[in-house]
Amino acid sequence: MITNNISEATAALVNNEIIAMPTETVYGLAGNAYSEAAVQKIFTLKKRPFYNPLIVHIKSVQFLNNVANDIPLAANKLASAFWPGSLTLVLKKQLHIPDIVTAGKTTVAVRVPNHPMALALLESLTFPLAAPSANPFGCISPTTAEHVHSYFGNDLPIILQGGSCENGVESTIIGFDNEQPILYRHGAISVEDIEAVVGKLIVNTNNNSNPDAPGMLSRHYAPSTPTYLTENVSEFIQSLSSKKIGVLVFKNKITNTSITHQEILSITGNTKEATKNLYAALHRLDNSDAEIIIAEKMPAVGLGKTINDRLQRAIKK
């Protein structure tokens, strides 16, 4: 059920139950990060393979000392620059964090979310929250409480209503090789903004065989309707026989009689707005009568790289 009642959510979490909470990126499926039983429920409901570790959400940067060790200087700089916010840091883990959270790794992924409801919830608890995106494994991430409800219905008794997620795409994930920051996942904070704080990043976002991050799997974030990515939507449509076509474009509307549903991400060509709208647009396209979705590649700068990354993983292989 969708509700505004934070204390009900607190009580459920203390009882090792799981709930859905809004964050500024996407909705999360949250449970006590210190409780194996609670985290087990997250994996079961999400049908997520156990080799995919979860992000631990903490209430403030001070709490980092309760979950991580040997924190690089570059990580501290990034935490000060972007927390609370859409940046996840992969750091050496403390031993008391259950292996199920980190998939047996010696590292833990951590962030401070920037949504008043998530922060109020964390403030009410004595433990951090493990939370993957609140979608079944491989599906499009939810950016509204209604998306979460449509995925899980009554299997999830508490879905906190936090409105539309401000950033609309998952956090950017950064790990470290000593002091060298490594990008594991493109996300809501652009590479350029991160490099302005810590210098050049090594990019390692493709590792399909032994994924360090499931967001790195080549097919993920995927609509169930076959989806294609192209630089020229009009041309692509001409190569198709008449079909019910759904179209996702950056800013310029396409005119073609085969188009039955069209989503324009930002009519002013603003990539931040486009990112915020991306998943909701994909959800609507997937639920429309379109038999095929044609998506337009974004300009590959700033958050355009994040959108292209997600579209690349949404396409039919």
Q: Catalogue the E-assigned strands of the chain.
A: 2-3, 19-21, 28-32, 55-57, 68-69, 87-93, 107-111, 129-130, 159-160, 172-177, 180-185, 202-203, 227-230, 245-249, 259-264, 292-296
Q: Does 22 bind ligand TXA (CB under 6 A)?
A: no
User: Bridge partners of 230?
Assistant: 296
271 vs 275: CA distance, rounded Å: 6
Q: How near is the Cβ of 92 to Mg ion at its closest, in Å?
A: 23
In the shown chain, the binding pattern of residues 237 to 266 toward ligand TXA, with x for contact by CB under 6 A and - for none, equals ------------------------------
Among 31, 85, 142, 215, binds ligand TXA (CB under 6 A): 215
Residue 204 and residue 167 in contact, taking contact as beta carbons nearer than 8 Å: no
Q: How near is the Cβ of 217 to Mg ion at its closest, in Å?
A: 10
169 vs 131: CA distance, rounded Å: 15
Q: Of 115-144, which residues contact Mg ion (CB under 5 A)?
A: 133
Of the candidates 122, 37, 110, 121, the one whose C-alpha atom is nearest the C-alpha of residue 79 is: 110
Q: Which is nearer to ligand TXA, 57 or 261 (CB)?
A: 57
Joined together, the tokens standing for residue 21 give 């909470």
Q: Of 61-120, which residues contact ligand TXA (CB under 6 A)?
A: 88, 90, 102, 105, 107-109, 113
Among 147, 185, 186, 313, binds ligand TXA (CB under 6 A): 185
* Residue 130 binding result from ligand TXA, Mg ion, none, given CB thresholds of 5 to 8 Å by partner type: none
Strands 68-69 and 87-93: antiparallel
Q: How near is the Cβ of 212 to ligand TXA at its closest, in Å?
A: 5
Distance of CA 245 to the CA centre of its chain: 27
303 CB burial (10 A radius; 0-12, 13-18, 19+): buried
- The stretch near ligand TXA (CB under 6 A) out of 8-16, 189-197, 207-215, 254-262 is 207-215
86 vs 82: CA distance, rounded Å: 7
Residue whose CB is nearest to Mg ion in the complex, by number: 133
- Strand, helix or coil at 136? coil
Among 13, 17, 20, 25, binds ligand TXA (CB under 6 A): 25
Q: How many residues bind ligand TXA (CB under 6 A)?
A: 29
- The stretch near ligand TXA (CB under 6 A) out of 4-12, 31-39, 125-133, 229-237 is 125-133
Interface residues toward Mg ion, by CB under 5 A: 133
Interface residues toward ligand TXA, by CB under 6 A: 23, 25-26, 28, 52-55, 88, 90, 102, 105, 107-109, 113, 131-133, 170-171, 173, 175, 184-185, 212-215
